[in-house]
Each structure stands twice: as C-alpha cells, then as structure tokens.
Amino acid sequence: MRKFIVSLLAVCLLMSAFVQPIGNMLHAQEVNEETQGEAVSASGKIKVEIISTETLEKEENFKLQLSKNGYDSEKVISLKVNEDDNLNSDGRVEFSNLEDGNYTLTITSVTNKYQEYRQDFVVEGLEYTIQLSAGEMEVDTQQKAHPGVLCYRMYGEEELLEILHEIEKNTKSLTYDLNQDGVVNLLDLQLFSTSYTANPKENILSTIETSIPSSIVKPEHADNVEVKSGSLDQLFSEETQESVQLATKEPISVEKPLEVSFTLGKDDKTVPLAGVTIQPGGSENQISGGSILVETQDGVEEEYTIISAKDRAVFARTAKTAILNDDGSISVDFGGQIAVKKVTIKVTSTTAQSGNLVEISKVEFVNDMENKIPEPELNIPSALQAKAGNKEFTLNWSKENNITGYEVSVRTESGKEELLSTTKNSITISQYNNNKLKNGETYKVKVRSVNGSWKSPFSEEISVVPVTDKKPDAPDNLVVKGAYKTLELSWKKMEDTDSYNVYYKKESEASYNKISGIESNSYQLTNLEDKTTYMVYVTGVNALGEGEKSLTAKATTKSLKPANLPLYKEINANKGEGNVSEHVVSATHSHGNMVGSKLDNSSKKTALGLFDNDFSSYLQVNDWDNGVSQTKRY
C-alpha cells in the first residue's frame, strides 16, 4: 500500500509542476470582538491589511487573533472569488481602543492553504499598521521598511510522512483534510502535492508603521474657512473614501490663505512626530502652494514650504520643505522625531485658477518615517476610451497587473468631482452625484490604478457627451394666452431638445404658419388680428429631426375697445372715440410726450389724449415720477 501511495504522490508532484497554488480575493469583515473594559484613555490601534498577489478562484478565510494577558479579540478577513480574471484584491481590519502593553497577532488560514503568521506588537498609545501580501512575492528585506509576506503553506518531508500515515492507517485525524470533505484520502494527497517542496519558504514579517491615532487629534479650521462637504474628523477615517471640501469666501491667495490646524496629544501633552502625509481629494482642487506650520513643545513654530518633487534638490539645503508629489499628495519628513503640539496646513494656491476650494481625502501623522513602507510603483491605465450613449457612457482602458482595482473620476466643468470604484477595466456610468446624466452635457473622465490603500496618478483626462437615441417627445403643458393682437405661448422645457418650432393659424384657415429655431420654452406671436381665434401647437427638434407635435391649443386675441359701462352718475361722460370726455376742459403734463393723440400740442404739454376715449393714444414718460393735471368744468 505504501509503495502505491508513494508512486501516486510522484505522479501528483509531476503534475503539480504545471499547477499554480490557488489564492483568493480578500474581503474584510468582522466576525466577533469581545467587549473589553478598557479605560477611556486607551487609544492604541493595530491595523492589518492583506493584498493578494494574484487572481485566484476559491474562497479562503483568514482568522486574526490578537491576544495579551486579559485581552483576546478575533476578526476575520474573508477571501472571495473576484469577478475579474486580472485583479488581485485587498482587505483590512483594525483592533481599536487598545491599552498599552505587549500583544501577539496570530493569522491562520482556515483551509491551511497559507502558513500561520505571528507578529508581536508593543502598544504605547499609537496606531500600528502592517501590510501583508498573501501568496508568492519577492521582498527586499534589506530595506528598512517593507511589507510582509503570508506564504502559501509548503509541505516538507516531515509533513509527507504524516499524511502518508493518516491515509495508510485511516486515522481519525483531519490535520490533512485539505479539501474539507471530512476524510483524509488520495484527493487530499493530490492537493498536498501542489504544495510539497524540500525547501519550503518562510513568512516575512512586515515592518510596523507607527502613526498618531485619530483619538488624540483635534482638528479645527480658521474663521474664514467653511467645511462645504464631509467633516474634519473624516480625514482620519478608514471607513469612507469621500474627500473633505474646505472653502473660503474669497479666492485663496498668499494674502488670504486657507488654514486648517490639528492639535495633537491630550492634557497639553505633546506627541513624538517624524512627519506628515496629506492625500488629495478631487484632482481639480488640489493644493499647489503653501506651507506646513509645525508648533513644537517649547512653542517654536517651524515652517515647511510646499515645493514640487522636481525642485527638491534645489531647496533641500536652504529651506525646510514639504514635497508635493506628482499624484497631488504632500509629504513632510522632519528628519527625526520631534515633540509636536500643533500642525497647520496653510494653503496659498490650488490647481484651480483663482479657486476658493480645497479637497483633502486623508491626513496622517507619522511617528517614524523610517518605518513608512514605500508605495509600490503602479502603472497608470492607458488607452482610455469613451463611448457615448443615451443618458450614459461606457469607459474602457488597458488592463494593469498587480493591482486590486481602479478608481474613475467624473466631473463637469462646474460640478463636484465624483470618484467611482470598479474591479474591471470598463464601467458604464448613468449617474453623476446621484443624478441621471444629461444628454448634451460634457463630462470629463480619467482613471487610476488602486492597490489596497495605494493609488497611481490619474490617466490623461478625456471628455464625453451623452447623446439621445430618439427624436424629442411632444412638448407638454402648452399654454396660450390672448392679448391685444398678440398670443403669449409657454410650454414645459423638454429633455433632449435643441430647439422648438411653433405652428399657428386662424381657426378659419386650412394651413399653419411655421416659426422655427426657438431656443427657449416660451414665445410671443405678434402683429396678429384683434378679436381673432388662432390654433397653435409646438414641436421639438434635435440632431435626429423634428419630434411629435404637442396638443393643439386655441386662444383669441383681444381688442383695445373698452367694455360699455352704464353712465349712471358718471361725471366724465364718454362723448365718443376721439372726443374729450364730458366736463374736461384742459389737461397738461409736466414732462414726457403724448403719443398717437390728435388733440395735443407738444409745445404746450397738453394731455387731452388721455381723456379722448381712444386707447391707442397715451403719454410716454421715461421716468416713474410724473404729474398730470386736469381742469374740470361742472
């Protein structure tokens, strides 16, 4: 029996040379966290991020156990199948409100596909972060800071003897039940062979990044600054990707900067700080100029001028600098730890010309810059293309490797930028900031690669204009009102309509007159006959042609002749059109001109035409204040 099993193992090993270990997409979710009785002052935090090194097919679960004397907490990162065949994925969890002390983190794979990972932490009120790659990955451990590797479980000679013993003796042990079917047999031996090696690799421990936890940071903005969206506390949150918008009433300048400050520590105590990193929000309102002001424990304020990365060598020896990177992020390295009470971001210019708005997505206060894991080089997506549709558009771009997804930026010329996440190299967009897209409006789009919490610069921005796929609908709510020799028309402003045509005719006529190229949703028909009924309808026009007509409306023009009223006890009795009313002897005006009156002399400023019962004569005055006097005889 043993010879048969060994022979079968040899066949499996031969086949495994062409089979790659299977990994999984990572998705973080909390399973259970025991309620602890920490003191309110407990501010420590441990954050774990895992990024898969390849796209895999089967679900996997990692159990994370954090322990110390009197404390035990468990969380899970669940690995799920990715819908895209080219992407890795990431997941993250955090353990919060930790008291000072020594902790041990143990990470195990439920299916034993990965090796057990153990790492110790000394918590002293700060935030501690590790980054792990699950699978096969080359890491330069000679670097001061580097991510860790959670290696696939590789079985050696000792494990080979153990699984052979379980199969041959049919023991009740399920240590090597790799396919989790409740029994150890030849199927498990086949899986075992894919991970068998005489020289198994060992896990690589991650460098532990240390930073200041949000619980001991108090943000505030200057009096001239308003938070337009989000909140300052959001700058430290891992739960939202939305940026915070800060605005001033006037354009940001050297004379009128935008300032936001962060007081560090509690009870007037300072914290050891080695640097600051600032991540931008929207690409159109990034910081392009200003400085970072640092107030130390002894009250001294140091200023770090923001300069571009390419100018770093010029200023490095002559001034303290904050580096503005190509992706819009800003990093400040103090050159070592200093005791800091307060940090102020002072913005004097942005990427928007004469702008008054700044968008920031994250601010991080780094306790040790030497332990800051460098960002990986991510490829910028290329060949971005857009295909316009009816109230939507579809984007596609080149597939990139060693990433967890993509982030798409959408904006209009005057609207707020919106960021959309996707795990595919294409996306169809039909909404913008929770509103449907509008045909005929220009949208500007670009895309960048994402790998966990790291992001590449954006691609070149392109424009796309959604277009309608049908002629305009018939205009609704047509209203026609009659006036003197005039009809006032109005109707509902219709979507996907570039202009309107108005059709009208007398009720007694057979054919309609057409007026085209009307751009607004109202119109005035003039020079019509008075006391005449007209028929009117409206159509919409776009690039595809003229749409259906509206319902036909009917209205009658009015006459200037007044209604006949009874003369009972009337003082100024009507003596007929063109004749001055009874008892009116004279009428004058102070300024202006009589129009259409045969009874008046402009040089004498008479105003008898106001009382001649002819409504076509009137006094024209280009002033609101005018006096008219009349003399009556009784």
Question: What is the predicted pLDDT for the residue at 208?
Answer: 93
Q: Are 40 and 161 contained in the same domain?
A: yes
Residue 470 lies in a domain: no
101 lies in the same domain as 240: no
Verify that 31 and 157 share a domain, yes or no.
yes
Residue 575 lies in a domain: no
Let me know whether 112 and 252 are in one domain.
no
Same domain for 187 and 306: no
Domain count across the chain = 5
Give the pLDDT confidence of 166-177 residue by residue, as tens digits: 878 777 777 777
pLDDT of residue 119: 95
- Classify residue 15: in a domain, yes or no: yes
Residue 360 has pLDDT above 80, yes or no: yes
Last residue of a domain, one of 207, 223, 248: 207
| 573 within some domain | no
> Beta 127-134 vs 44-52: how paired, if at all?
parallel
How many C-beta atoms surround the C-beta of residue 348 within 10 A?
18
Tokens of residue 564, six digits? 């006949």
Residue 594 is assigned to a structural domain of this protein: yes
What's the CATH code of the domain at 251?
Answer: 2.60.120.260
Mean predicted confidence (pLDDT) in 179-189: 79
| Pairwise pLDDT comparison (16 vs 88), residue with the higher score | 88
Q: Is position 402 within any domain?
A: yes
Q: What's residue 477's pLDDT?
A: 94
pLDDT tier for residue 9 given thresholds of 50, 70 and 90: low
Q: Distances from the Cα of 92 to the Cαs of 47, 48, 238, in angstroms?
A: 7, 5, 10
Question: pLDDT per residue over 482-524, tens digit each?
Answer: 999 999 999 999 988 999 999 999 999 999 999 999 999 999 9
Nearest one of 340, 406, 329 to 372, comparing CA atoms: 329
- What CATH number has the domain bearing residue 404? 2.60.40.10
Q: 260-319 pLDDT, tens per residue?
A: 999 988 777 778 888 899 988 766 788 999 999 999 888 888 999 999 877 766 655 567
Q: pLDDT tier at 633 (50, 70, 90 boundaries)?
A: very low
The answer as to whether 325 is a domain residue is yes
Shared domain for 176 and 318, answered yes or no, is no
Residue 320 has pLDDT above 50, yes or no: yes
Can you tell me the mean pLDDT for 412-419? 83
Specify the pLDDT at position 154: 72
Same domain, 27 and 169: yes
Q: 363 and 291: one domain?
A: yes
Do 22 and 171 lie in one domain? The reply is yes
C-alpha distances in Å from residue 121, one per residue of 24, 46, 99, 144: 27, 9, 12, 17
Last residue of some domain: 159, 184, 207?
Answer: 207
**Identity at 240, one-letter amino acid code:** T
Q: DSSP for 70-113, please give it.
A: TEEEEEEEEEE--SSSS---EEEEEEEEEPSEEEEEEEEETTS-
Of 98-112, 148-162, 183-197, 517-531, give the lowest mean pLDDT range: 183-197
Residue 490 is assigned to a structural domain of this protein = yes
Residues 202 and 222 in one domain: no
Q: Identify the domain boundary among 207, 235, 270.
A: 207
Considering the chain, what percentage of its residues have pLDDT values greater than 90?
A: 34
Query: Do 497 and 366 reside in the same domain of the chain?
Result: no
Q: What is the mean pLDDT of the chain?
A: 82
H/E stretch holding 346: strand 330-350
pLDDT higher than 50, residue 44:
yes
Q: Which residue in the block uniquely carries the two structure tokens 């532990």?
A: 208
pLDDT of res. 114: 86
Do 126 and 234 fall within a single domain? no
Using H for helix, E for strand and C for coil, what is the string for 1-44?
A: CHHHHHHHHHHHHHHHCCCCCCCCEEEEEEEECCCCCCCCCCCE
Which residues span the domain enclosing 143?
Answer: 2-207
Give the mean pLDDT of 65-72.
92
Query: What is the pLDDT, as a whole number, of residue 12?
Result: 53
Question: Looking at per-residue confidence, does 603 or 349 come out higher?
Answer: 349
Task: Express each pLDDT in 425-451 by its tens digit.
Answer: 899 999 998 889 999 899 999 999 888
